[in-house]
Amino acid sequence: MFIDTKFFKKQLDEEKQKLEGELETVAKRNPDQPKDWNATYPDMNIMAADKEEVADQEEEYENRASFELELESRLRDINDALVRVETGKFGKCTVGGENIDEARLRANPAAATCIKHAG
């Protein structure tokens, strides 16, 4: 089976840029670990004495932190897929070694397993 890795690399690179852009809206890179992101507090211009506003800010931070974790997880999957492209392992199931169906890769270019081994 021939897989157009240039096509999928382009898809992965585009999604990586999009994810990094989204991450920058809710987080900053960890200077000690550049692949790690840390959620940032929202700039809500609140008065520290107002408990409701402080609670709103904490809730918004928790929402941002959750979103940051989702984005960072997807970015990690994308980066792993890009490594598989570079090492010639893209399109092969990381569990059983069989080919991953192209339709699955088109739906999720970061897929690391075939349907049979998808968890």
Distance, in Å, from the CA atom of 78 to the CA atom of 97, rounded to the nearest integer, reads 19
pLDDT value of residue 45: 65
**Number of Cβ atoms within 10 Å of the Cβ of 47:** 8
Sign of the dihedral defined by the CA atoms of residues 115, 80, 11, 19, in that order: positive
pLDDT value of residue 57: 80
For the entire predicted model, the pTM comes to 0.84
DSSP state of 106: H
- Amino acid letter, 92: K
pLDDT value of residue 92: 96
pLDDT value of residue 103: 95
pLDDT value of residue 119: 75
Query: For the chain, first and last CA: distance in Å?
Result: 24
What is the chain's Cα-based Rg?
Answer: 19
- Amino acid letter, 76: R
Answer yes or no: are the C-beta atoms of 5 and 17 closer than 8 Å: no
For the chain, residues with pLDDT lower than 50 are: none
